[in-house]
Amino acid sequence: MGKNYEKLGDEIITRLGGEQNITKLFHCATRLRFQLADMSKAELEGIKKLPDVMGVVESVGGVQVIIGNDVAPEKNGIVSKILNVLSAILGPAIPLIMCSGLISALLIILTKCGLSTEGTTYTIISMVGNAALYFLPVLLAYTSAKKFGCDIMTSVFLGAIMISPTLIGLTEQGSFVSLFGLPVKTVNYSSTVIPIILTIWIFSYVEKLVVKIVPAAVKFVFKPLLSVIIMIPVMLCITGPIGSYCGDLLCKALTAINNVAPWSSVLIVGCLAPLLVLTGMHLALIPLVMSMFATAGYDNMLFVAFIGMNFSQFGVALACMLKTKNKNLRTLASSCAITAFLAGVTEPTLYGICVRMKKPLIATWIACIVNAIFCAIFSVRVYSFGAPSFFTMPIFLNPDGTMSNFYFAIAAAAITIVVSFVSTWVLGFDDSIYGEEAA
């Protein structure tokens, strides 16, 4: 019998203090993210007991309710607020970025199968594969406007200006040019994250000021006009350069770490991977990954570490499915195994199995650490944006045509699966929490 989602939704809303207590709602592939006006009104233990809820987490900006494979889906310090903003802004854009990344990976396969790099077919596919990252400021201008509550069309207009070929062309004239005597740092803002987010955040305040100044009778034309007149120098002289400098600092810091100890970044992230996903903080690393793709052309940190995170959940779920005699757990584990292996979606296994039975979480950590050590030793890299899974393994194909990185990635995935499977089997688990007596 199918699940009654309407009833489940009503029960979750009621236990969160009612509709009036919910200020915002976001979703990802497996979880519902609520921002609440008053956290004290939320009955988290009551939500955890709902039959179709896999778990509840107090995370960045409110509450995350894990529904598992059926959702197509935070304390309030300064760090938490920043993480929440990044999550809300970057989340909607990630599927398109992954789509472009997969198309780029497909292009690599096609060229290996004989597609000429001189033809228009290659040029068009390459354009599509690079589009999401190139137009990232426009995509994030839209999501930022929705997050900060300002005019969407004006925000998208500002994002488009940031990647104007004319503005990019000014980089040939030196580090700075002049706008009415004001210094404009010449930067190629395509594929950048921080500059446009800062710009739209400032615009959200500028717009409120403009609304107070412009008479209602002429605001249709003069509100966007005055907004743009104010924002162009702010964007080109202040927020854009600040964001660019932040990106430069991140890149320099990571470069310095890699120069001293190239293995350390993936090892650190790999050891923290389960914790990052549990808290939803892995999204906060996306800007750094974007910076790496834009500068170095690859990621040797986040997605490499997530070979361990994603494939370990397949190994854990597979071990539970084969070892348990509990029909409820076997059904859950089979679904989780398929989702983790084919799509790289880990939350169902992580929350539905690992967190609930505890010992499989230890197995997950062991596998993530082993993967991180392996990838650090063999310098595994990701060349296209995407979460590791069976269908996305082409992201490890090196554009230069060599295959060693791809083979090491496959080996890392295989080792992760074996380690997580064996660890889960040896550590064991208590499946009585799933309600059915073992047969």
Known catalytic residues are 28
CA 23 to chain centre: 22
Instruction: Provide the greatest CA pair distance for the chain.
Output: 80
- Are 244 and 187 spatial neighbours (Cβ–Cβ below 8 Å)? yes
Other CB atoms within 10 A of residue 325 CB: 11
How large is the C-alpha radius of gyration of the chain?
24
> b/e map of 11-45 (b: 16 or more CB within 10 Å)?
bbeebbbeeebbeeebbbbbbbbbbbeebeebeee
Neighbouring residues of 224: CB distance < 8 A, sequence distance ≥ 6: 151, 153, 154, 157
DSSP at 41: G
Name the β-bridge partners of 64.
33, 57
**Pairing of β 176-179 and β 62-66:** unpaired
Strands 182-185 and 31-36 come out as unpaired
Q: In this structure, what token pair is assigned to residue 244?
A: 């660019």
- CA 169 vs. chain centroid, Å, equals 31
